[in-house]
Amino acid sequence: MRKKPIKMDNEQLIQEFKTITNSEDDENIKNLLTIHDWNLNNAIMTFFDTGFESVNQPQSIINHRHDTNDHDTGFGDNPLEDIESTARSSGSDPFTYSTAQSFEMQDLIPRLPFAPRISNNWQYQIGIYNSLKPVETKVNTIWFLLLFVPKNLLNLIYSILRYFFKPKPNSFPKAINYELMDLNHEINFDNYNVYHKNYNDVYQKTKDNNEWLLVVLVNNDTSRFVESLLENNHFVNHFGEKGVVKLNIYVGNVDKSPESWEIGSKYQCKRLPSVYLIGNVTNNPSIMPSMSIIYRSNISIGFISNDVINQTTNKITKNLKKLTDHYEPQLITARLEKREIELSRKIKQNQDEAYIRSLEADKVKKLEKQKQLDLENYQKDKIKYLQYLKNSNWWEDLNTNGTIRIQIKLPEEKIVVKLDPSICLKDLYLFIETKLSDDIDIDEDCSGFKHNNDFKFELIQPYPKKVFDELHSPIEEVLKSGMSLLVELDEDED
């Protein structure tokens, strides 16, 4: 059975399918993508709904028919085309066809408007504004020239300009009025998480935590709308501190905050006040969630007058409640998935840390074991070295000019030795250690042994008590002839 070669872009789709679904069944992945005209989103959704059942069932039927009577069935060289035609024409797999058709219909659903971050141009504009100084001479010159224009003509020009360029009530300003700017302006409410600046940080926090973001933009003439909305009883009961849904609320006055003006400009605000409900959701299961504007309301000035503002806030609250209740399951699912991912990450991290600690513990044990083994080997070689010194004329060859006579009391005997003044105290210690060691039989040269000066005793003068431990000092500097010394073993020495 011949198969058509797969193009490079199709190979990439297969690899993306594997990455997202963690599946390694190349044949079924290829079949599923072929049925959906290589639409990756539709194929993934079908996979998560029914796995490869929609592929395996018609494939088995086709294979059976092809094996029994290939000429009668009329199948061609490519079974994947036959699967697709069978599913769409003869209805052998109505579920696959209906699923693909439903996804095609879902593609026609309008997407929610995307809610982008805002740029930082407003910050640069503030710096530019503060750096510029007004030029009084130009203004004075203009006023001086206007003195020569007839008054009636000026009134006519002014009336025409007012008629054509009169701003609409509560319309969004076309530019920032830096004269009214107040960067420290805030409105505080105890029952809500209200923000007045750093919009992009609030935006990112909302996205990362899968929460809701409510943006309310006003100006100096409509600022009372914020208090009316946030103090509305229905709004408090549903979105307040003890409510069902938690909101991050960004309140901005476009007359006092250039950042708020940038938000309104980015979100194409027409009138003030304006309300935007933003969340990381989607209205189409075949499209990945993104930060979207779920609700947008540019409120006319007539709906915020004192006699109807409560009705307006009630209606807005009703719409917000309806939409949040509809999309909240998506955010809850996303939060749970994020929590599971974070938990899995922590478990994996704890496992990695435990494994590293285990490796370090094994390494420490190995080092301790090697250290203990080296110590045991050293002690064995040391005993052989002491016996080698006993068997040789080491002491006699070293101590040729014994002019310093001292008495040394060992644990079991007293000895009198004559010391050469030029030898070191270490040599006397080594001589005493040979006296304290047991005799063994050896017949090997241990002259290359390196002694670590780890003597298990001290040479002291009983009265007045003094310890002689300057091992590298000559005898003539630390001992005098006629002294009586005592060998004192360490407490841990048997």
Given a cut of 50, is residue 5 above it in pLDDT?
no
User: Which domains occur in the chain, in start order?
Assistant: 8-106 (no CATH), 112-385 (3.40.30.10), 394-489 (3.10.20.90)
**Overall residue count recorded for the chain in this entry:** 494
User: Binning pLDDT at 50, 70 and 90, where does residue 125 land?
Assistant: low
Question: In which element (H, E) is residue 460 found?
Answer: strand 457-461
* More confident position, 354 or 106: 354
What pLDDT digit, counting tens, does each position of 441-452 carry? 888 888 888 888
Average pLDDT estimate for 258-270: 86
**472 compared with 90, residue with greater pLDDT:** 472
Q: Pairing relation of β-strands 466-468 and 404-409?
A: unpaired
Average pLDDT taken over every residue of the chain: 78
Position 355 confidence tier, pLDDT thresholds 50, 70, 90: very high
Q: Tell me which DSSP letter residue 175 carries.
A: S
Per-residue pLDDT, averaged over 414-436, amounts to 88
Give mean pLDDT, residues 175-195. Answer: 72
Predicted confidence band of residue 124 (pLDDT cuts 50, 70, 90): low
7 confidence band (pLDDT: 50, 70, 90):
very low
CA 130 remoteness from chain centre = 38
Buried b (16+ CB within 10 A) or exposed e, 351-379: eeeeeeeeeeeeeeeeeeeeeeeeeeebe
User: What's the pTM value of the predicted model, to 2 decimals?
Assistant: 0.52
295 forms beta bridges with 277
Contact between 479 and 427 (Cβ < 8 Å):
no
Cβ neighbours, 10 Å, residue 241: 11
Is the per-residue pLDDT at 100 higher than 60? no
Q: Which of 83 and 54 is assigned the larger pLDDT?
A: 54
Helices (H), ranges, 69-218: 70-73, 79-85, 94-106, 121-131, 136-146, 151-165, 199-208
CA 77 to chain centre: 51
CA 470, 472, 474, 477 torsion-angle sign: negative
Q: Parallel, antiparallel, or unpaired for β 193-195 and 247-253?
A: parallel
Per residue in 15-57, pLDDT (tens digit) is 888 877 777 788 888 888 888 888 888 888 788 777 777 666 5
* CB of 385 closer than 8 Å to CB of 441: no
Q: What is the pLDDT of residue 90?
A: 35
